[in-house]
Structure 1
Amino acid sequence: MEDESPKKRNIRPTEKSNLPIITLFVLVLLVLAMLYVGYEYVSDDSTNSEELTSTVKDTTEDKTVTEEPVAEEPESEDPVIKAKPKATEEKDKEKTKEKEKKEEPKKTEDAKVVASRIGGREIIRTVKGGETFSSVASRYNLTTETLKALNPSITELKSGDKLKIRVKAVHTVGPGDILKVVSGKYDVSKEAIMKANGKTKDLASRGEELVIPFPTKR
């Protein structure tokens, strides 16, 4: 009896530890965390790849859209359309050149024709300031059109220009030649002679040259 009692006293009670359960729980959490991180990484890669494919598709679609109207346009029509106006322009230039060549000799012929048709004598008169075609023409009993036809090279009168004028005659005043006698000799009114020579009085000096205009407008 004495031997059994001390044996029972020396036996210690067994203690239960929670360490294995905690470590297992921590490992499970780590595994879950790694799985979650890996899933996010994979999902990010898939979205990036989808964006890349979408951008590539967009560029190809843009290219096809821009290239479609170019392919539809006929290539053979462009040079034909461009060539037509060039040909017409060249023809127009040739026509204008031919017209200019034809018109140049006509102007000189018209002046000669007008001079021969009017007859009389040609005089050269220096234009004074303020004079116009109509004022000069009325002074010598000519129409404005006739005076312009006699001077085709002059478009606007300027002081100092030389005008060709056709008159009936040029009379040199002799002894006893008064304006009334001169007007009766050429069958032109005295007023017309005075106007053509810029006279305000019925006077003429001996040796003076009087311009005799036409009796009617030409």
Structure 2
Amino acid sequence: MEENRNPRPVEETSKLPTITLFVLIAMVIALLYVGWQSVRTGSTKDDELVSKSPNSVAMSGQNNAEVIVPPPLEETGDNVAKDDKKKEEKEEEEKKSVEPIEKKVSEEEKPTKKTETPKGETITHTVQSGETFFGIANRYNISKATLQSLNPDVKADGIKVGVTKLKVKIRTIHTVGAGDVLRVVAQKYGISKQALMDANKKTKDMAERGEKLVIPLQ
């Protein structure tokens, strides 16, 4: 009677080791799968890091750092061009401010240069018939301004024949010697034969021995 009350589950006891074995196998497979996934994820990340450029990796590592981007070369060139243009404009303004002063000084100096008395001998010329103030200046190869400076009291349009005496500048007086023709005398003083003839009112290449010839300025 007692044996019939508590029968031993023979079948359940025999199934327990099998279930435990399956659980262990499942756990091992799960662990292997998890490990394989982690290895695969790690290799994928390594590939991504290798494929990224050094600049992008450096930028990604500086999340909180301020990135300074240099200005484009074109903008820098424009700034340099603007500075050069301003410098040129400033130089032009300085030149304009200096030019009037230089011009004024040069204009003041011009009359002095024109009226400067040339070096040489001074002789007195008596106005002859048909001569003019300007013609006398040309005859002695001097400027009208120089002739006026030598004769400040004489008016150019007030000269009188045989009365007005003008001071003129010449190079020197040459006394004609043997064989001295006008061409030879002119060559000796480095002037043209025509200038020598005009200064002495000659129409022919002839001069008498002992004659005094006026040698005009060059």
TM-score range, shorter chain: 0.3 to 0.5
TM-score (norm 2): 0.45
TM-score (norm 1): 0.45
